[in-house]
Amino acid sequence: MRKEFSNAMEQLAMEDDSIVFITGDLGYNALENLQAKMGKRFINAGVAEQNMIGVAAGFAHKGYKVFCYSIAPFIVYRCLEQFRNDVCFNNLPVFLVGNGGGYGYGIMGSSHHTIEDLACLSGQQNANVWVPAFADEVEPVIRQITSDARPAYLRLGAGKTTPDNSFSTGSFKVIHHSKNAEITVFALGPIANNVLTALSLSQELASRVNVITALHFPLQINDDLADLIAKAPSILVAEEHISTGGLAQQLSVQLLEKGIFPRSFKSLKAEGYPNSRYGSQTYHQKLSGLDPDSILSHIGKLMIPA
């Protein structure tokens, strides 16, 4: 999604002179076009993420809207205190953009993985969190973030394009809908692509499943989505994030508060490093049961026997 992000930022920056872009010495072979177009509004803060957020807060206080870019673990963990104190408490339009969420940086290991970011950021005062599942969602999300003009975090991954006939509902998007569904699968970000791949392996199971992505936190379950869940009350959640503070935990609270009680509830999540080894993103997804074959197996286990 990095290319789509750069292209969208270039267009937005040309339309709005109040946009400032700050990078933590990252974005090579992706952001050069943006740098050329923005001129002095494009700032390389160097490897100094905490300072980058302080500078961004200063710009925002003076009326600018500031995007701060780095790889996800650096933009989330290195400057969490500055984002919390300088940006969120003051409700300033500073937007964190993290590339390579989840296990995106694979073999580079745990220091470069981001599997606790929702837990860190979705509870911050005044902050919104955005997790696109598909590349074509990036531009509209960026425009919404800018329009909202409040603290935000955008987690980028590697996504395809939104399936035909998808529709938004609350903070969610229904990307696969079946009239005969008995299972509702909630997916976080590009893991939705793994879910769709799993369903392509079994037409029979696909006809009995709804697939919904969570695009925006805090979660908003409207009446249409509540009705959809009620008709397919076995729930499977798939997310490249730890259990604590992730989609499954936040979703379960929302469901209970609305009086929606699933028939069954299964959470597939980032399991960390169960064998103390590092590998590709695909490798870690498989260890966590987030690969297509594992997802398909879990869907099958939730099915009511015909």
pLDDT band at 127 (very low <50, low <70, confident <90, very high): very high
Phi-psi domain of 39 (left: phi exceeds 0; alpha: psi -120 through 50; beta: other): left
Tokens 């009086």 correspond to 259
Evaluate if residue 105 carries a pLDDT over 90.
Answer: yes
Could you give all domains of the chain from N- to C-terminal order, each with its CATH number?
2-156 (3.40.50.970), 167-302 (3.40.50.920)
CA–CA separation, 205 and 198 (whole Å)? 9
What lies within 8 Å, CB to CB, of 209 at 6+ separation is 176, 178, 181, 182, 183, 184, 185, 199, 232, 299
> Quick check: 30 pLDDT over 80?
no
pLDDT for position 26: 78
SS3 of residue 255 by DSSP = helix
pLDDT value at 164 more than 60 = yes
Supply 227's token pair: 């009705």
Which pLDDT belongs to residue 305?
65
Higher pLDDT, 26 or 119: 119
pLDDT band at 292 (very low <50, low <70, confident <90, very high): very high
Tens of pLDDT along 174-201?
Answer: 999 999 999 999 999 999 999 999 999 9
Indicate whether 294 pLDDT > 90: yes
Q: Quick check: 35 pLDDT over 90?
A: no
Listing from the earlier edge strand, what are the strands of the sheet with 65-71?
42-44, 19-23, 65-71, 94-99, 152-156, 128-130, 216-217
Q: Residue 306 above 70 pLDDT?
A: no
Please spell the DSSP secondary structure of 7-70, one letter per residue: HHHHHHHHH-TTEEEEESS--TTTSHHHHHHHGGGEEE--S-HHHHHHHHHHHHHTT-EEEEEE
Placement of tokens 């005969």 in the chain: 180
pLDDT score at 33: 86
Of the candidates 159, 119, 103, the one whose C-alpha atom is nearest the C-alpha of residue 284 is 103
pLDDT at 3: 84
Peptide bond into 274 cis (omega under 30): no
Average pLDDT of the segment spanning 163-183: 94
Percent of the chain with pLDDT over 70: 99
| pLDDT for the residue 25 | 84
- Using CA atoms, how far apart are residues 242 and 122, in angstroms rounded to an integer? 14
Average pLDDT over residues 193-214: 94
Pairing status of strand 128-130 against strand 94-99: unpaired
Strand-pair partners of 268: 238
Mean pLDDT in the chain?
A: 94
Give pLDDT, residue 29. Answer: 73
